[in-house]
Amino acid sequence: MSERPTTLLHVASEMTPLAKAGGLGDVIGALAAEQARRGHRVTVALPAYRSLAVPEGWTRHPHPGCDVPWGLGVEPAGFEILRPPARPGGREGGDGGAGASGGSLEVLLVEHRGARRFFDREGIYDDPARGQSYPDGAERFMFFARAALQALARRGEPIDILHAHDHQAGWVPCFARTHLAAEPAFAGVATVFTIHNLGYQGIHDPWVLGLAGFGRELFYPAGPFEFFGRVNDMKVGLLFADLLSTVSPRYAREIQSGGEFGFGLEGVLQHRSADLRGILNGIDDETWDPARDRFLPHPYDRAHPEGKLKVRAALREECGFPASPDWPLVGTVTRLVEQKGLDLIEQAEADLLRLDARFIILGAGQPRFQELLTRLMIRHPQRFYYRAGFDERFAHLIEGGCDLFLMPSRYEPCGLNQMYSLRYGTLPVVRATGGLADTVSDFDLEARTGTGFVFQRYEAAEMVAALRRGLTAWRQPAVRAGLMERGMSLDFSWRASADGYDRLYADALARVRAGAAPTLDSVRAAM
């Protein structure tokens, strides 16, 4: 890339270890650290949620607040900078871990100081008291996007790349090309928008356009700000960014194909097809490493897989399952939402009971699925164990202690748990969709190839058949050892993905230098 370090800002609503609801948090935390390690100057803008978990060793630094334009008025923003600790030889970024490469990592916390306190609340997206999303989601994240850019503009240092993630950051590329286009900090900036999940788009009533600083005259049918009579944050991001990416090559194809994957945006994605890339997520291979995992009672690795048996025994005991008969343990860790295929588990209840296996499920989410899983555990306590809520330690214990891992997703942009499973020698059983299809290869008994068990159609019978194949293979020690060995030797570290993003950034910058950055007029004209 350029001779001087690339200066880049990620705008995202989650980042481990500070705030996480799902895979987005893992991805932002690990990607930013890897980019700092390879010499970039990385800032991650993150809302200052009340629930933020700032680990020991991180330092906090004041940063001047400012007023953020908001409709016809302004709303006050406060900021704070967080820096991770220096970790010699580590990959945490910070000034230390990344220092040798000249890179750095810091977090820009965005606080809303207006009366409604957008982020000083219990949950990230949902109000735990009501079990629903906060009703002012449109305002919360539009404010976040605008305030983050405003802070950077005031700092004045030139930024090379604005990298916006999912609909919460959808307005970032638009604001950078409109209201903030004349700011010296953004004079040569390129913008990139990454889709982590097209199933969540941030769709709101049209009045929010006024808050964004645009007149109703721009809200005409089929314009960039209109989506079936409403405003769609994801669509705005998709139209104003220089380049687009999503989190696996297969999902990049699926979302343009329409049907169940496009969620109404397939036309926009086809329109930008040449600008959309699929870059497979990596995993944080320090946090998710069975040899070093602080949550596992015993370490193990590819050369010493026997340690896994002790983890397995600890998990079985924690779930209250008997040691005899010693049936295989099948794990699932998931948000309890439609996307994740839980209705297949519901439909397959009787067949699952015939499998001589025990199921361990950890998940938080929709009450309907919580009730389903609670009911299964009450009816069949020796076969189903369900733990409600978000429990990081237990998620690691399931990855380490289970024999198989089930992900029957309806769709899956990338998915991280199947990659964790491969690394932990836990055989994945997945549906052939999105990143699951790109990371798990189906076992072939004759050729002795494959790393897991893949089923094609979204049907309970197909899922049960794949599980049955998985259990049969697992019961044969030599076959099992081969599967584990192949899975555990795969490299899903961030290095390859970060290379993909470096290329994406270089191409986006080249476009901007060639004068091809979008403007409000060019985006409107292209529609």
Coil/strand/helix, residue 256: coil
Alpha carbon distance 108, 128 (integer Å): 26
CB of 388 to ligand GLC, least distance (A): 20
Pick the closer one to ligand ADP by CB: 143 or 394. 394
Choice from 93, 278, 328, 363 touching ligand ADP (CB under 6 A): 363
Site for ligand GLC in 400-459 (CB under 6 A): 412-416, 435
- Residue 247 interface partner, choices ligand ADP, ligand GLC, none, CB cut-off 5-8 Å depending on type: ligand GLC
Give me the phi and psi of 451, to 5 degrees please. Answer: -120, -5
Contact residue for ligand GLC among 41, 163, 196, 358 (CB under 6 A): 196
Tell me which of 8, 17, 19, 22 binds ligand GLC, using CB under 6 A.
22
Question: Is 20 flagged in the annotation as binding?
Answer: yes
- Only one of the segments 72-80, 88-96, 185-193, 415-423 lies at the binding site for ligand ADP (rule: CB under 6 A); that segment is 415-423
201 binds ligand GLC (CB under 6 A): no
Q: Which of 417, 433, 439, 497 binds ligand ADP (CB under 6 A)?
A: 417
Rounded to a whole number of angstroms, the minimum distance from the CB of residue 283 to ligand ADP is 9
Backbone conformation region of residue 425, classed left if phi is above 0, alpha if psi is from -120 to 50, else beta = left
In the list 343, 391, 442, 502, the residue contacting ligand ADP (rule: CB under 6 A) is 391
Burial 274-303 (b: 16+ CB within 10 A, else e): ebbbbbbbbbbbebbbbeebeebebbbbee
**Which alpha helices (H) appear in 108-160, and where do they start and end?**
137-155
Q: Please name the residue that has the structure tokens 């995993």.
A: 283
19: DSSP letter? B
123, amino acid identity? G
Residue 253 touches which of ligand GLC, ligand ADP, none (Cβ within 5-8 Å per kind): none
Do residues 487 and 427 make contact, with C-beta atoms less than 8 angstroms apart? yes
- DSSP H or E stretch at residue 313: helix 307-318
- Using rule CB under 6 A, residue 281 touches ligand GLC: yes
Number of residues that bind ligand GLC (CB under 6 A): 14
Query: Does the footprint of ligand GLC cover residue 23 (CB under 6 A)?
Result: yes
Residue for token digits 């496009």?
A: 262
Query: Judged by CB under 6 A, which stretch of 142-150, 170-178, 387-395, 485-493 contacts ligand ADP?
Result: 387-395
202 binds ligand GLC (CB under 6 A): no
24 scored as a contact of ligand GLC (CB under 6 A): yes
End-to-end CA distance of the chain: 32
Full DSSP string of 326-390: -PPEEEEEEEESGGG-HHHHHHTHHHHHTTS-EEEEEEEE-HHHHHHHHHHHHH-TTTEEEEES-
397 is an interface residue for ligand ADP by CB under 6 A: no
Residue 338 interacts with ligand ADP (CB under 6 A): yes or no: no
Task: Closer to ligand GLC by CB, 352 or 362: give it.
Answer: 362
Say how far apart CA 244 and CA 198 lie, in whole Å. 13
User: Which one of 362, 464, 488, 509 is in contact with ligand ADP (CB under 6 A)?
Assistant: 362
User: For residues 108 and 70, is the Cβ–Cβ distance under 8 A?
Assistant: no
Interface with ligand GLC by CB under 6 A: which residues?
Answer: 22-24, 27, 196-197, 247, 281, 412-416, 435
Interface with ligand ADP by CB under 6 A: which residues?
Answer: 22-24, 26, 333-335, 362-364, 390-392, 395, 414-417
